[in-house]
Each structure stands twice: as C-alpha cells, then as structure tokens.
Amino acid sequence: MKWMRFPFKTLLVMGLLSFVLVDYPPLKLTFAHTKDMVKKAEFYPLSSFSMYSTFSETPFLVFITDGAGQKIAIDSALKTHASELKKTYEMRLKALKKQGSLPGKLTDLPLAIKAEAGRDTLELLKARPSVQKFLASRDNQILRLHEIILSAGDDGIVKREQWVAQL
C-alpha cells in the first residue's frame, strides 16, 4: 500500500494542555500557540484522540447544505458538531447494513441505503429546537446531507463527494 500523507495531531501534557502539529514526510513539528492554531490542531476525523484513533481504508465525512446548495455551519448555525452528525449517520448505516445482511464497507453501500440513513439522520437533526429555530429564520427550510469519502489514489488522497439525502 502506498504511504498516505495524512497530517495528524499529537497531544502533549506538560502541566498545560499543549498541541503539536506533526506533518510527515518530511517530518515537521509545529507548536500550536494561538487559539486559531489550536483549532487547526484538532480536526476530525484525523485525530489522535483514542475515540478517533482507528482509521478505515476509506474514511468518510458528512456536511449539510440548504436547498440552494449553500453549506451550513454545523457548529454555529445548527448548534451541534460535525462528529456527532457523522456518528448518527454512521450508526444508522451500520444498522441498515446489518438488517439487510449487506456485505462490504459502509462507504460501498448502495445509494438507496445511504439515502435512508441520511433521511433518518436529518429527521433527528430537524427535531432539535436549535435547528428548528435556525430553519424558521430562513426562506429555504430544506437540509441536504452530503458524504465525502476519502481514499488513497495513485497521486495522493482521492475525495469522492455525493449528495445523500434531503429533508
């Protein structure tokens, strides 16, 4: 397998919580000393925290857009976290995969299965009061769930994006 160039963050504790950004190859260490650098030090799913430490061959991410295709800030606008949204979607995918006795990876499931998991995820998201408040302030009350699948290609990381569900 070709070496993948994922930068990652490691956590050092020396009396204070410190973040060191590690990039390789070539090896480069950067101490995160400002608030903005610390934000960049922890980026999901490329994290060294134990709950995120096992990576699949094809990790995936999710994001939300409105009906016009404009990205919505999950943290500030919807008052939730991208990692929580991804976990909800992933748990629903796993349940549907198990229910249908489907082989293979979650990223390889048919779009119909992903769409069902995506609609379930969006229903849970839209049921939240903070999301209802956000949508009430907009003309376009449609939310779309998108999936980004990352994999190793011949020239580095390959990104495959698809629109999964709309509600």
Rounded to whole angstroms, what are the CA distances from 13 to 16, 18, 96, 111, 159? 6, 6, 41, 43, 34
Query: Is residue 127 pLDDT above 90, yes or no?
Result: yes
Q: Are residues 40 and 81 in the same domain?
A: no
pTM score, whole prediction: 0.67
List the single range of 27-36, 82-91, 93-102, 120-129 with lowest mean pLDDT. Answer: 27-36
Q: Are residues 94 and 150 in the same domain?
A: yes
Q: Are residues 96 and 37 in the same domain?
A: no
Buried b (16+ CB within 10 A) or exposed e, 61-78: bbbbbbeeeeebebeebb
d(CA 130, CA 20): 34
Give residue 29's pLDDT.
Answer: 65
Report yes or no on 1 lying in a domain: no
Domain total for the chain? 2
10: which residues sit within 8 A by CB, 6+ positions away? 20, 22, 48
What average pLDDT is seen over the chain? 79
List the single range of 42-51, 87-96, 122-131, 148-157 with lowest mean pLDDT. Answer: 42-51
State which residues form the domain around 125: 60-166
Q: Are residues 72 and 136 in the same domain?
A: yes
